[in-house]
Structures are given as C-alpha cells and as structure tokens.
Structure 1
Amino acid sequence: MDGANLPENLRGALRSIEDQFTVDTAKLKQISQRFEEELREGLEKDGQNIAMNITWVIGFPSGYEEGQYLTVDLGGTNLRTCMVTLHGRNGETEVDQEFTRLPDDIKTGTAEKLWSLVADAIGDFITKRNIRVSADKPIPLGFTFSYPAMQQRIDHGVLTTWTKGFEIKGVEGQDVVAQLEDAIAKRTVALINDTTGAMIASAYNDPKTIIGAIFGTGCNAAYMENLDSIPKLKTDLPHHTPIAINCEYGAFDNAHRVLPRTKYDKAIDQQSPKPGEQSFEKMSAGLYLGEIYRQIMSDFYDRGLVFVGRDVSELKKPYSLDTAFLSCLENDSPEERNTRFQSVLGFKPTEEEMKLSQRLAELIAVRGARLCTCGIAAICRMKGIKSGHVAADGSVANKHPTFKARWAGALGEVLDWPKDRESDPIVLTSAEDGSGVGAAVIAAMTMKRRNDSQVLGQKK
C-alpha cells in the first residue's frame, strides 16, 4: 500500500521515511562491494571489523556420519539440550530435546550463574532420560555457542564480545569451553557457532549447500574457505584444505562508511548495551526490526501526528514490539491486525494510523531483507560461487512470509541475474537443525578425525 489516502501531514511524514528506508540497486551493490573488502580484511588478519573466525570444522560432512551425540545450544532466549542420533544421509535423524528458558537476570548476571544453569540443564536431561555416562564411555558433546568466538582448535573458543543484548560478567575474553568444562564432566568435543551448524546440518542432507546463514535475532553467515586464502592462519594442514569460516558479519561497517543509517538506527545503536558495535545487525536483524517501528511511531507521537490523546506507555517501552508484530501489521487480516495492535499497545488505532503502520512495517521489512542479501552476495562474488543453496535459519527467514521473495529479488539485482530467468541459480532454503543436528554432525566429524589421527600415529 502507499500513503495516498492519508492526511497531508501523515503523507509528508511517510514520504520522508520512504526516502530514508529505500535501498536501491546501486546502493545494494555499493554495500556488497564494501562487504567483500571487509570479508577479505578479516581473512588477512585478526582484529578486523568482520572477524572471519576460523571454526576448525574441516570440510563438509560425508553424509555417512552416525552415532549418538549430546548437544547443548546457548541461544538468545532459550537453552536447548538434545540427544541426537545420526543414521547417515539416507536415514532419519532422531532428535530428543528439551528447552530451558533463560531468565532475564542470567543475561546480565555472572559467568558462574550462567554455567551453573547450563550444567544443571545437561544433568537434568541425562537423569530424566536415564542416559548412561561413564569415564570409559563418555558421550561426545557438541556445544553450540551463538556468539562471536575466536577458536584455536575445535574444542576451544574465546568470547570476543557479547551480542543479542547479553552482558554477562566474567565471560568476555575467556575460553567458554573451559568455563563449561569447569561446570560439567570433561566431555566437550566441539564448539560450534549456530551459523556453521546450520551449514553443516544442511550439507549433511543436501550436498548443494554452499553457505549457512542466520536471519533471526542476529544476522550472520558461514561458508567453506581454502586455507591458502586465509593469510592470517598459520598451520601445517595442506593449503587446499577447506575449513569453515564463521564470518560474524553483524559488525559490518561499524565505521559507518556505506550503510544508509537513519536517525532511528542511530538512536537504537546509542541506546544499546554496546554502542558503535554490530552496526549491520542493528539495521537488519529480527531483534531490532520491531524496535525500528517503535522508534518511528514514538517520534511521530511526540510530533503530534499519531495516537493523540491515547495512553502510549507501552509504545514508549524499548523493545516492546517484535518482528512478529510487524509481520502481523503487514500481512494479516484487518481483524487480526487490530486485535494484535490493541493487545500489544493497549489501544485501537484509527484507520489512518493502521494504514500508516502497515506501510512502515513493509518499509522496515523490505529494507531488512534487501540488506540481508549483501553479505551473501559478497561471499558469492569473492568465492566465484554461481549456484547452490543458502541454508537459512532464524525466525525472520522462516516465519516472515515475504522475506525469501524479497531477499531473492535483491540478490538477483546485486549479482546481475537476467530479469527473464526461469529460476534463480542461488536459492534460499530452510536450514536443517544447526544447533542440534549440526552440532552432532560436527562432533561426529571431529571424533572421526581424531580417531583417524590416532590410527595413523599408531601405524607410524
């Protein structure tokens, strides 16, 4: 919809937002070009804007990995504990799982409280399911840690910085695997980022997988890079060895060179726990899309344009609106929109205010989807990737009804695909369970590599 039927004062305000939030093809290409430059900088040396963290996941899975693996996933909202049974690519993977909600005080608490909660959850899971664990036969554990970490090996990871609103004391700069192992028996085999897990879990069943991506609370991607293209890594492995890179590109353009930031984006950044960090994520990820709408409407209210005479106390609460709310405004029926609006904000909007809200939700979602193509386009251009599947996980990718179509259209613009193409050469697919199945597959790959190494050592 457009704002043609709105009063003049709202039309003018909406036109200004449209101008600020429209990202055309030329701008997408400029952003993607800068993205590629920052990706290369991250491969060349540590401490760059985009970290390009080396995961020590060597190559894609064969598809023949089998066995039982315990996995634990520390996400932004829940802790998930799983027992995953792999039967190979042609078999059906079994996942028995349990969720533990992360209390708000954990997110700003101490390392001791965090790891105690994780260890208790693992212990409860093992006890409830009568899983037998012994020193002779420990259960391999895959740990999915969805935050930026520098790894010197697969069972090691130093947290660089908390993201997603976390600010737990005593963890940044520390090896999270060691901290977890201090809280539980020493059985951790592999530390996995959720993005890498999504790529490996998807490749386990779909050999056409080229990239794993997260479009949810955060925004990130992982892909496979050859060692000879990673100048910062010194290792005895053969130069052509493929190794998974966790980009951590939510920090793209922290210097603010190309991203079209509005005053609302700047306000979100300044009011966040870490101002000046994760610039790209704060414009494109699910954690922030509802907050962008709230910032705009709160500004309009302060200017006397909307909700005059209404109690807007809920609107004034930071992060009171989520991406699901925006999706409802844009895509649901009029009855559903009004019901959701009233239940969340406490009052019913006028017809004009709802039309305005619909258009704002659309503008925010379209900009987010279009920006999300830039990192993937940069990886494809840098690696010369012409076709394949981008396995995407996250609530925005899988629950917002128009995200995939908008993302695909923008990717075609950046990569100059023919407009009359019958199909897209690079397709966004729904990722397999990266934090559960992906962690298990990586644990299986790691165990095989260790066993093969031991056998080779014995032969020598």
Structure 2
Amino acid sequence: MTSLRDVLVAALKSLLRGKSFLRALLTFWKTSPVLPVSNDASQPKTPRDVVADFLVDAEHHFLGYTSAGGLEEFSQKLKHQFREGLWSDPACMLPSYNSQLPTGRESGQYLALDVGGSTLRVALVELRRRDVSECGSRIVRMNTFKIDNDVRSLRGAEFFEWMAERIHGTVERSENGHTTEHPLLVGLAWSFPIEPRQTSSRGGKLCPMGKGFLAADDLVGEDLGETIQLACLQKGLHVELSAIVNDSSATLLSAAYTTPSTRFGLILGTGVNIAAHLPVATIGRPKYSDRPSSWHETASHVIVNTELGMFGKDILPLTKWDKLLKAAHPRPDFQPLEHLVSGYYLGEICRLALLDAIATTGIFGGTVPPSLQTPYSLDTETLSLIEA
C-alpha cells in the first residue's frame, strides 16, 4: 500500500515540476489513502495520527477561546473600546462631513473611484432617481485594476501617478471637453484613514495607510483630493473631487440610495471596516474640530467611519501563528483586529500554520515548498478556492 509519506512526496515533486500549490494539494487530496488511526497509546503513532493531533491542536488554538465563554468577555471589552473611541480616540470612530443619507432623487453621471487594499475600480456611474427607475443607478463603464505588492510599494506621488494613468485609460472616451471651469465630477471611496478634521465633504488629509502601502509616505498631511486632481491634470484630465469618503461609508451611502432603511455598511475584503449612521451626540465634540456652527445646527446624525480594524489591542485571543505574524509586521499594533480577520492576512496566517505543520508532522516530506518560503506568498484568494 502506498504510504502517506510517498503520496506527500509525490505531491511535492509535482509542485516542483511547475504545478501550483493548490493543484498539488488537490493531487494529494484525490490520491491520499485512508490510513487507520490507532487509539493504543503503546503503539507508535502513524503519520496520520501525527497530522490528526496537529489538527486537534490547531482547532483548540482557533476555537478554544469561544468554547470557554471568551466571546462574552471579548464583547464587553470591545464595547468599552468602542465607547472610548467614539468619545476621544483621534484615530478611529471618525465622523465624516456627511450628515445625511441619499434621498434617492439624485441624478446624473459621475466618475466613481474605489481604492481598496487589493483593487482599484474606476467607473462611470449614472444615477437615475429611485422614484422613477427600478434599479436606481447603473454602471455605464467600469475597469478594475489589481493592486499587487509592486503597486503597494509605490511611494508618495508615484502611487497617484499610477492611479491617474488608469483613470485616464477608462474615461478618455467620455472626457468630452472637460476643462478647469467644467471638470469631470468625481466621488472617491478611500479604504484608508484620512484626517478626521474635515471641513467639507470633498476634503481630507492623507494619513498613514497600513496594508503594506507606501503611498502616504512623504505626503502625510497633504490634501487627498488635490493630490489626485494634480496627478490627473498631469495626464490631461480635468477632474474635481466632489466627495471623499471611506470605503465603508461609500458602501453605506450607495446601499441607502436604493434601500433607504440602510444604517450600516460592512467591508469584508482585503481589509475589514464598518460605517454607521449615528446620532451626532454619540461622538465627542472635539472630534468635529473646526466645523462651522451651521453644520451642527442642521445635522442630527453623521456617517462615522469606525476604522474597526484598529480595535482589539490587548484583548484579542492570539494563536501562536498570529503572534508570529505580529512579530514580523512593521506596525504590529496599528490594526490588531484586521490582522486576525481580513483578507490581506488570512493567507499569511495559513502559510505560517503550514510551515509549522511541515516541521512538526512531516507533511510535504518535511520540506517547505518554494512557493511557501516567501512571506504572504499564499494569498487568501487561494484559500477561498480551496474552501469553495
């Protein structure tokens, strides 16, 4: 009978012949024999026993906290951090300048930009009024561009030049003579923090970005809208940033356009975040900074970018692999919750667990495949394919 080790070595050899990590795993799963598991402590453990023990230990690392009543304790501590953040923390629970949800009667064509942790989307969007159109809005044209590690490594203005080139390629056919006096109006969904002291819906200063991005380097404190407008102008595009919101706020606003009962927007992607439409009094007054008194006189509610990923410091249950990820991270305490649940990090946590399994159980013949040797080389997209 073929041994488990022989099957794993065969999978590794196929990997080295050029097959992908996923395909090698599938090869193993389809051909692996079912080996008996011994319950006799006096008998030497089979390779299957060792793997089973590792999986039991892994399940305890990930789920033991929940079975011991830890979720309720974690919930209480997290709620306490939420309250502190709402009242005083300048880095999270950021009130936008938007005090109202869409009426559904807005109309016209606009350019929409969505800058996420792994994707740039550029779309020409037509709003058709909710009361006269069944769908409310439609995408006239959209292009999607992957943001890989090379793009994340673009420093300062280089990143915005990269953006402007993609914007130009998408809207070139629809420019129709836009000028400085009559620019193309743009709404930007920005998946990163901006300076909370907004004095208009179209303003916002760059803050450190996280997720491995260097775009804010040398530009922290610069106006985000002006930075993008300048980069586009260098490509011959006359645009005006009419609104800058966080991606979670954009999700909330776009859903509220067609579903007026919407009050929360949730992001589960490369990052994790929530936007909420909350009473103005929920937020500490100093966090509104220099907004005119007229804003406070008319606003009863405000859209809040919670920056959810920043919560959880010193209260999150960490596995040994989470601790390894944190130790190697350049900003280990910047986004504690995001490190545990977001798409940018889940693949790396799995890679670290696989390295541990290879060393302790002998899977893959006890040899780390080349495709697993580089940090973040196993992405969450691959895990999604495996899960599917």
- Per the TM superposition, whether the score is higher than 0.5 is yes
Q: Residue 321 of structure 2 corresponds to which residue in structure 1?
A: 264
1:155 equivalent in alignment to 2:202: yes
Deviations 1:64-115 (A, max 9, x none): 1111111222222332221111001242312111233446433222222112
1:211 equivalent in alignment to 2:264: yes
Judge conservation of contact 1:162–1:172 (CA < 8 Å) in 2. Answer: no
Secondary structure of 2:182's aligned partner? coil
Q: Residue 394 of structure 1 corresponds to which residue in structure 2?
A: none
Secondary structure of 2:79's aligned partner? helix
Judge conservation of contact 2:51–2:361 (CA < 8 Å) in 1. Answer: no
Instruction: Compute the TM-score of the two structures, normalised by the length of structure 2.
Output: 0.77
Q: Residue 191 of structure 1 corresponds to which residue in structure 2?
A: 244
Deviations 1:189-243 (A, max 9, x none): 1111111011111111112322100011111100011112212325421386111
Q: 2:66 aligns with which of 24, 28, 32?
A: 24
Secondary structure of 2:70's aligned partner? helix
Deviations 1:335-362 (A, max 9, x none): xxxxxxxxxxxxxxxxxxxxxxxxxxxx
Q: Residue 392 of structure 1 corresponds to which residue in structure 2?
A: none
- The CA distance in 1 between the partners of 2:343 and 2:73, in whole Å, is 23
- The CA distance in 2 between the partners of 1:324 and 1:155, in whole Å, is 34
Query: Quick check: 193-202 or 227-236, which moved more?
Result: 227-236
Judge conservation of contact 2:358–2:368 (CA < 8 Å) in 1. Answer: no
Judge conservation of contact 1:159–1:174 (CA < 8 Å) in 2. Answer: yes
Secondary structure of 2:281's aligned partner? helix
Question: For residues 114-125 of structure 1, what are the structure 2 equivalents within 5 Å?
Answer: 114-125=159-170
Q: Residue 238 of structure 1 corresponds to which residue in structure 2?
A: 297
- The CA distance in 2 between the partners of 1:328 and 1:109, in whole Å, is 29
Alpha-carbon distance, 1:313 to partner: 1.6
Q: Residue 228 of structure 2 corresponds to which residue in structure 1?
A: 180
- The CA distance in 1 between the partners of 2:318 and 2:309, in whole Å, is 15
Secondary structure of 1:203's aligned partner? helix
Q: Residue 437 of structure 1 corresponds to which residue in structure 2?
A: none
Judge conservation of contact 1:227–1:238 (CA < 8 Å) in 2. Answer: no
Instruction: Compute the TM-score of the two structures, normalised by the length of structure 1.
Output: 0.65
Q: RMSD over aligned Cα, in angstroms? A: 2.4
Distance 1:130 1:318, change over 3 A: same
1:253 equivalent in alignment to 2:298: no
1:291 equivalent in alignment to 2:348: yes
Distance 1:44 1:312, change over 3 A: same
- The CA distance in 2 between the partners of 1:218 and 1:154, in whole Å, is 23
Query: Quick check: 20-29 or 277-286, which moved more?
Result: 20-29
Secondary structure of 1:220's aligned partner? strand
Q: Residue 68 of structure 1 corresponds to which residue in structure 2?
A: 109
Secondary structure of 1:24's aligned partner? helix
Deviations 1:15-49 (A, max 9, x none): 2211110042732222222222222212212435x
Q: 1:312 aligns with which of 343, 357, 369?
A: 369
Q: Residue 108 of structure 1 corresponds to which residue in structure 2?
A: 153
Q: Residue 378 of structure 2 corresponds to which residue in structure 1?
A: 321
Judge conservation of contact 2:188–2:245 (CA < 8 Å) in 1. Answer: yes
Secondary structure of 1:253's aligned partner? coil
Distance 1:94 1:54, change over 3 A: same
Distance 1:304 1:17, change over 3 A: closer
Q: Residue 134 of structure 1 corresponds to which residue in structure 2?
A: 179
Question: For residues 396-415 of structure 1, what are the structure 2 equivalents within 5 Å?
Answer: none
Judge conservation of contact 1:4–1:11 (CA < 8 Å) in 2. Answer: no
Judge conservation of contact 1:226–1:239 (CA < 8 Å) in 2. Answer: no
Distance 1:251 1:137, change over 3 A: same
Pairs aligned (count): 325
Judge conservation of contact 2:101–2:256 (CA < 8 Å) in 1. Answer: yes
Q: Residue 449 of structure 1 corresponds to which residue in structure 2?
A: none
Secondary structure of 2:244's aligned partner? strand
Task: In structure 2, give the amino acid aligned to 1:44.
Answer: W
- The CA distance in 2 between the partners of 1:283 and 1:195, in whole Å, is 19
1:94 equivalent in alignment to 2:138: yes
Deviations 1:148-184 (A, max 9, x none): 1123131222233212221232233332223223323
RCO greater where, 1 or 2, for CA within 8 Å and sep 6 or more? 1
- The CA distance in 2 between the partners of 1:293 and 1:35, in whole Å, is 25
Task: In structure 2, give the amino acid aligned to 1:74.
Answer: V
Task: In structure 1, give the amino acid aligned to 2:96.
Answer: T
Distance 1:224 1:4, change over 3 A: farther
- The CA distance in 1 between the partners of 2:329 and 2:36, in whole Å, is 35
Distance 1:229 1:61, change over 3 A: same
Q: Which has the larger radius of gyration?
A: 2
Distance 1:220 1:329, change over 3 A: same
Secondary structure of 1:173's aligned partner? coil
Alpha-carbon distance, 1:311 to partner: 5.5
Query: Quick check: 72-81 or 59-68, which moved more?
Result: 72-81
- The CA distance in 1 between the partners of 2:283 and 2:358, in whole Å, is 51
Q: Residue 20 of structure 2 corresponds to which residue in structure 1?
A: none
- The CA distance in 2 between the partners of 1:70 and 1:240, in whole Å, is 27
Unaligned segments of structure 1, at least 5 residues: 332-460
Q: Residue 226 of structure 1 corresponds to which residue in structure 2?
A: 279
